[in-house]
A and B are shown apart, each in its own frame.
Chain A
Amino acid sequence: MSLEKTHYDVAILSTGLTQSILSAALSKANLSVIHLDNNDYYADQWASLTLSEIDSWARSRYSKTGISHLDISYPSSSSPSPSTPPAPSSDIDEDHSPSSHQQHESPDGPPEEALKLDRHYALSLAPTLLASTGPSIDTLVKSNVASYATFRLLEHTAVFTSPETIERVPSSKEDIFKHKGLGLIDKRKLMRLLAYAASGDWEKPENRGQLEAIPFPRYLSEQHKLPPHLVRAVAYGVSLSSSSEESTLTALARARDHLRSTGRYGNSAYLVGQYGGAGELAQGYCRASAVHGGTFILAHKVKSLQRQGQEEGGEGEVAESVWSIEVQGLEERITANWVVASDEMLDELDDSPQTSRQEPPASDVGGIDVVRGILVLDRPIDFVETATEPESSYRVEAEDEEDGAKAPVKPKTPPETGLLVFPPNSLEEEGVDGGGGHSETIMALMMGEGTFSCPKGQYVFYLQTQIPSQSPRSAKEILSGAIQAILKLAGKSSPADPVPERDGEEENPTSKEEEVIPILQLVYRQKIASDGHTRKDERLFSVPFPPMSTSGPTSKTTPPTLADLPDLSTNQAERLFWQIVGEEQRSISERNASRRKKRRDPSEFQGRGGRGYDDGVQSEEETEEEEGVDFFG
């Protein structure tokens, strides 16, 4: 195959979300873009995969750097009888010799019945929650990608409390107000706290220092006198703090964002993307890039990347050197002024000594691994029925309807989406084989058929937490407590029993529990890349995954939560965009934005009433927009 042209302004390697957003923005700004990926699917480390794809992804990862302790199994099809617990399979360490890899590559692939519905699975390698306000949503709308990706509201958020109970988190003022399980005093305390978070007073310089120093849970119980269950709800259910040490300043900022987001699209601060989320967004941005002229080549291995002097450039121009890229299956080499690549694709090049990875300094964020888990179950956690006090508004309604009699209850809508947060150390007592406890927050995001993540009647649970890289604990050990808890909670909401009894306090959970065995269970640890080898002088950027926040001392050591990822990726893409098109363009863009604002609300700037485009007071120079490119103008 051959290309129409071989020189491009920018060559992008990997179709991860950040690269895809960047690709669309650059194409839209009229730069020529060629976008390459070794894989035959979109979105690379952010991909949404079918069951068979994730199976081969997992098998290929045994040999990849960055991934360790990977363990994939299909317990429901491999265990001989449903009463036998899933057979223990030892985990795989990246340091093992090839021979020891062999023994783990069991012939057991996905079960037959599941493979028949293979294309109904969209299992995400980077599960995300999309905040309803913020850079990610804004960019989706501005770029028009929002019109071809689809979303759902996150329906439920609950916090786990040992043993086996979940407490639903009131997510808005309205929720708190209607909350039947909360005393009046607690309601007032909560309202006051949320009002403070929304006010932004905590951002004032005189408050910052103190708030930075105090961990959020302590702040909530000491300053706001919140009882323990509300500390849990606010710190882990609203602020989504990833550890009990998170600073109050960081957590309040998240609480404020949460409050701002709630209500924009419904009674939740978050959306979930359908068809696996991030992978679908990456596809959407790539399409947007193609529509504006970007060239896409998937499933072709990028073999080498070299600097090459360029001959042209007469008339006193300095002969510039460019990047020359060799792609398997393409006759000609591609040249580009800029290269933006994923760490992984740079690592997999055959040559390119110039991109050899520097070892991160010992003190670096290289010290943290993300721990991920994917479970596919045949039933959900019923966030409404399973939840205990506090939170009862739904339950009370249901009881009113029922009127005591065992009248046939109309089949309730099964929950589609829910976030279950396991606060630090909440699983200590669950201790299964070697202790299921974990000293950091574990998040579990549930996605049902309505999110197009899996076939009808099945539910995907994404688990995520973190661990210091030097810890020897396997991903399976770290997550086992949370996995056991999820299986037990799901056992309480058997879909075979569509009319769950509601006998109030008399309820005996063990009596109708059913053992739930996962259809798929995949766990692994993923090393957080250091900031990589950004070489602006040579016009080469590598994009670390996952994207990290650039500001704030605490965020440096904490991997992003599910809810941070989309915004961080968008910011990462925007930073790269301005570096490539030139920082001076950013200044022009900012000046133009403030001009547009002035035109829209002249009163705000001049203390006048009325609306108008131009009241004649501003000079041409002030209102006329400068010529320039924009990040999705």
Chain B
Amino acid sequence: MSQPEQQAGAIAAAPPQKPFQTKLVLLGEAAVGKSSVVLRFVQNDFQENKEPTIGAAFLTQKCRLEDRLIKFEIWDTAGQERFHSLAPMYYRNAQASAVIYDVTKASSFEKAKSWVKELQRQANPNIVIALVGNKIDLLGRTESVEESTAQGEEDDETATATPEAGASSSLRAVPKDEAEAYAKESGLLFFETSAKTGEGVVEVFTEIAKKIPIDLHLARSAAAATAGGGSGAGRTGAGAQSGGVDLNSGGESRGRDACSC
């Protein structure tokens, strides 16, 4: 089992350090598996045919990277992507994003591209974006093809046009090389995953973690702290930041829900 925490290795003697907290937002069309991917990453679990109930503002998961401890604060859309209703607050101060599509559904890839544009418009300019094609476990199962999808048909052209796809992948609607090329030209990380089997999921988060310019963010928030002001880009996720007041510190304590660490 590849729990991110256990990739620690080398520096066991290092003093316990304060993790670098980073906000990651999930984006993508409804039903591509956003919630399932986080559930796999955070709880190593999968629920078939069912929207996983998150019931929390965000989930957290720590990730050790060489000498650094990164704590992801993962924001799920909570269904607000469905009717044009994600709030600006959602994108605010996100340092990373996973834009997910379903490899068996071409329209979800088009939608992913528009989410990438939206991020470029709304989010922090240094944001690290990963493009993730999910549900690759479906690709190997030729026998269940016929009945399970209608949209497979309209995408037959693209599917068969993929050379490496072969006969076993007739469900694939988004060719890997096409998505990869798009990711490359747009400066995005690229992965294919299955929340169901767990394939590729941890890598998404560890590769994002590696790419986040931690030093830059730390320097920014330090500068902002001394200036008493703060620049939007320099702040880490929610909670206390320079000049800000943490409402939870001034009175009765409360538990942050769904903190898995």
Interface residues in chain A, defined as those with a beta carbon under 8 Å from any beta carbon in chain B: 1, 40, 42, 119-120, 132, 137, 140-142, 144, 146-153, 264-266, 271, 274-275, 280, 283-284, 286-288, 290-292, 295-300, 413-414, 416, 448-450, 452, 456
Contact = CB atoms under 8 A, between A and B. Distances in A.
Given A132-B250, A413-B228, A290 B239 contact: no
Interface residues of B, number: 39
A274 B244 CA distance: 9
A146 B245 CA distance: 10
B167 interface: no
B90 interface: yes
B230 A450 contact: yes
Contacts of B85: 286, 296-299
A124 to B, nearest CB: 13
Given A137-B247, A274-B244, A450-B228, A1 B83 contact: yes
A299 B230 CA distance: 32
Given A152-B243, A274-B244, A287 B90 contact: yes
Interface stretch (B131-139, B180-188, B194-202, B252-260): B252-260
Given A1-B83, A147-B238, A287 B229 contact: no
B219 interface: no
B63 to A, nearest CB: 21
Given A283-B89, A292-B55, A147 B248 contact: yes
Contacts of B161: none
B83 A416 contact: no
B88 interface: yes
A150 B122 CA distance: 18
A283 B238 CA distance: 14
A152 B244 contact: yes
10 contacts: A42-B87, A153-B245, A265-B249, A271-B245, A280-B89, A287-B57, A291-B57, A296-B82, A297-B83, A299-B84
A266 B245 contact: yes
A277 to B, nearest CB: 12
Most buried by A among B89, B241, B257: B89
Question: 9 closest A-B pairs (Cβ-Cβ)?
Answer: A290-B78, A146-B247, A283-B87, A297-B83, A296-B85, A450-B229, A413-B228, A298-B85, A283-B89
A19 B228 CA distance: 34
A153 B246 CA distance: 10
Given A265-B247, A298-B83, A298-B85, A288 B228 contact: no
B92 A275 contact: yes
A435 to B, nearest CB: 38
B54 interface: yes
Given A291-B55, A295-B79, 5 more contacts: A141-B248, A141-B254, A144-B57, A448-B229, A450-B243
Contacts of A280: 89
B89 A416 contact: no
A287 B254 contact: no
Contact of B83 (A151, A266, A300, A413): A300
Contacts of A274: 244
Contacts of A152: 243-245
Given A287-B90, A450-B229, A146 B248 contact: yes
A283 B88 contact: yes
B78 A298 contact: no
A42 B91 CA distance: 14
A296 B249 CA distance: 31
Nearest to B238: A148
B251 interface: yes
Contacts of B243: 152, 416, 450
Nearest to A119: B122
A297 B229 CA distance: 35
Contacts of A149: 89
A613 B251 CA distance: 22
Contacts of A296: 79-80, 82-83, 85
Contact of A452 (B56, B232, B248): B232
Contacts of B228: 413, 416, 450
B250 A147 contact: no
Contacts of A275: 88-89, 92
A29 to B, nearest CB: 13
B245 A151 contact: yes
Interface in B90-118: 90, 92
